[in-house]
Amino acid sequence: MMSAIRVDRLTHTFGKGTPSAITVLDDIDITFESGSFNAIVGTSGCGKSTLLKMMAGLFEPSDGRMTLDGEVIRGTDRRRGMVFQQDAVFPWMTVARNISYGPRLRGASAAERRLVEEKWVDLVGLGGFAYRWPRELSGGMRKRVDLGRVYANDPDVLLMDEPFGALDAQTKKRMQSDLLQAWSESPKTVVFVMHDLEEAIFLADQVIVMSARPGRIRHVEPIDLTRPRTGDMRPADEFIGIKRKL
């Protein structure tokens, strides 16, 4: 099952009603369609991550509302999985046990957990590393563990907060392709916050451009490039034209 998120006239002010109040988001109105891949770009401090954390249910907007399939989002649940900028692997668990953490909490049997581990260890490119410890992995590999763990929990919505921002250029491009492969194997509604326009164009069905604080939606650009996306699209005239426009 995939789900749609609706953001309805949302404004958020930290410290609302106090002398130190700061409005970080202003009148955000947008729908993230079921099964779509959405990229949000904008300058640092424009409220991108704040918006994403509200989708995750980490806190509620001061004005307006956000719904998942028509139900107001309040608090976290397994229907919405989040991958943060910093890796969040458990250092006391192997790669495989990190990946099967969600199913284990839900009471999955040992056999079910093994199937989940085998599937997602391979799909996120960690074949041969299932029983390694996080301290033995590179930064890019730990990020693969994060992605595998969220996907293995089978959320309807995948929320990603600049997860590839700290990676080198070559690893980042590989991770982008691997993410699209995982998404094609197990489609989700994805909302991905980033700064990189090329990354946004390569991954997304639509790119949402936000203004500086207070964050407002300045432009929504549909990306009509064919799928599956491949690296040789990047130097193409159509790709460069979209980047120039954005």
Q: What is the pLDDT of residues 181-223, one digit of tens each?
A: 989 988 999 999 999 999 999 999 999 999 999 999 999 999 9
Return the pLDDT at 81.
94
User: pLDDT higher for 86 or 214?
Assistant: 214
Return the pLDDT at 3.
85
Return the pLDDT at 82.
93
Q: Which stretches of the chain are DSSP H helices?
A: 48-56, 95-99, 101-105, 110-123, 139-152, 169-185, 197-203, 237-245
State the average pLDDT over residues 35-63. Answer: 95
pLDDT classification of 149: cutoffs 50, 70, 90: very high
Digit-coded pLDDT (tens) for 118-138? 999 998 889 999 999 999 999
pLDDT classification of 2: cutoffs 50, 70, 90: low
User: Where do the structural domains in the chain lie, given as residue ranges?
Assistant: 35-58+74-210+217-245
State the average pLDDT over residues 61-80. Answer: 94
Residue 236 burial class via C-beta count within 10 angstroms: exposed 0-12, middle 13-18, buried 19 and up: exposed
**What is the fold, at CATH topology level, of the domain defined by 35-58+74-210+217-245?**
Rossmann fold (3.40.50)
Q: What would the two tokens of residue 179 be? A: 């993410």
Considering only CA atoms, which of 143, 145, 152, 151 is closest in space to residue 94?
A: 145
pLDDT classification of 1: cutoffs 50, 70, 90: low
Helices (H) then strands (E): counts for the chain: 8, 10
Digit-coded pLDDT (tens) for 17-46? 999 999 999 999 999 999 999 999 999 999
Return the pLDDT at 71.
95
